[in-house]
Structure 1
Amino acid sequence: MNSFERLEDEACKDGIDVFLWKFQSERIKGLYSDGIIGINERLETSVEKTCTLAEELGHHHTSVGNILNMEDLSNRKQERQARLWGYNKLIGLTGIVNAFESGCQSAYEAAEFLEVTVEYLQECIDCYRDKYGICTEIDNYIIYFIPNLAVMEKV
């Protein structure tokens, strides 16, 4: 079972219906409304669909009301929370450490290991940098976000 199928299964258990949909605009990757998630069928890979599904599940778990107007600060905050939920679900600090431990040497290798797109991984790292600052600790590791992503094991 791949990551997309695992997320679909989780959505089903939460009573959420997931559909592939041909949206009018190619800019729309996915939408969530009232227990239904639409994923743009034009997304080329299951990895792209997985990243989109994670964010839309994040909206289910964190968002309230219609947040389509990004001019509204409250809506932007809800969008950020939904994305953070998705980042934590698919990657998380533990995932970054696991990628390091498995020998990933580049963003491409880490993204492949984590089953996310390189762009999604970079957005996650940027979000974590905003949240944690220069670095953060988890278990026996220090994850640095500035100047670049680096993981060091504490001795």
Structure 2
Amino acid sequence: MIYLNTYEQLLQDADDAHVTVHEAIDLNGDTASSKRLDGLYIDNHIALDSQLKTTAEKTAILAEEIGHHFTSVGDITDLKDAGSRQQELDARLWGYNRLIGLREIIRAFEHHCQNRYEMAEYLDVPEDYLEEALSCYRSKYGVYTLVDNYTIYFIPNISVMKHF
């Protein structure tokens, strides 16, 4: 059996959805702008910026761009438009749920991850991406949520309790 890491699984997901992924594309040129573009989705094509250094970074960006394939309609580049901002958020949430999700938080707990760093490494995502996802889940679920025989606490810190 061949084991695929999370990034390779996402590449397979894209291929299954008939989306072509172009890796290591210079999306920012020589610009020193603070508004870096790490990924771009247009008409069944995803471009990933050449400045993405780690597999975890590529994984997070690719998940969001695949999210655009499944959740976005039209040109959403004008983020002053509320509809565009909402579609950007929907794609990001799709990525959070694909890479992290409540069941993956439980899996990380079952694999004895003790903190955010260990959880991010186990899930193969950047630590700041994990923190953004957890913040999103805190906003959605509040203090805690129940999943099967588990309680996932988001406040004051991420923790998981198994019910017997």
Q: Could you tell me how far apart the structure 1 residues matched to 2:136 and 2:74 are? A: 23
Q: Does 1:19 align with 2:22?
A: yes
**Counterparts in 2 of 1:43-62, with a 5 A limit?**
43-62=52-71
Q: Could you tell me how far apart the structure 2 residues matched to 1:41 and 1:15 are? A: 22
How far the C-alpha of 1:5 sits from its partner, in A, is 1.3
How far the C-alpha of 1:62 sits from its partner, in A, is 0.4
**Counterparts in 2 of 1:65-80, with a 5 A limit?**
65-80=74-89
- Greater Cα shift, 69-78 or 117-126: 69-78
Equivalent position SS for 1:61? helix
Which amino acid in structure 2 is aligned with residue 86 of structure 1?
A: G
Q: Could you tell me how far apart the structure 1 residues matched to 2:141 and 2:91 are? A: 17
> Structure 2: which 5+ residue stretches go unaligned?
none
Q: Could you tell me how far apart the structure 1 residues matched to 2:62 and 2:93 are? A: 13
Which amino acid in structure 1 is aligned with residue 59 of structure 2?
A: T
Correspondent of 2:10 among 2, 7, 11: 7
**Counterparts in 2 of 1:95-110, with a 5 A limit?**
95-110=104-119
Equivalent position SS for 1:50? helix
Identity score, percent: 49
* TM-score of the aligned structures, taking structure 1 as reference length: 0.95
Query: 1:134 corresponds to which residue?
Result: 143
Equivalent position SS for 1:137? strand
Q: Could you tell me how far apart the structure 2 residues matched to 1:46 and 1:108 are? A: 16
Q: How many residues align?
A: 155
Correspondent of 2:128 among 115, 119, 126: 119
Equivalent position SS for 2:76? coil
**Counterparts in 2 of 1:25-44, with a 5 A limit?**
27-44=36-53
Query: 1:63 corresponds to which residue?
Result: 72
Q: Could you tell me how far apart the structure 2 residues matched to 1:5 and 1:22 are? A: 21
Cα distance per residue 1:26-79 (max 9 Å; x no partner): 711100011000001110111100110000000100011111222221111111
CA RMSD of aligned residues (A): 1.2
- Greater Cα shift, 68-77 or 95-104: 68-77
| 4+ aligned runs moved over 6 Å, structure 1 | none
How far the C-alpha of 1:102 sits from its partner, in A, is 0.8
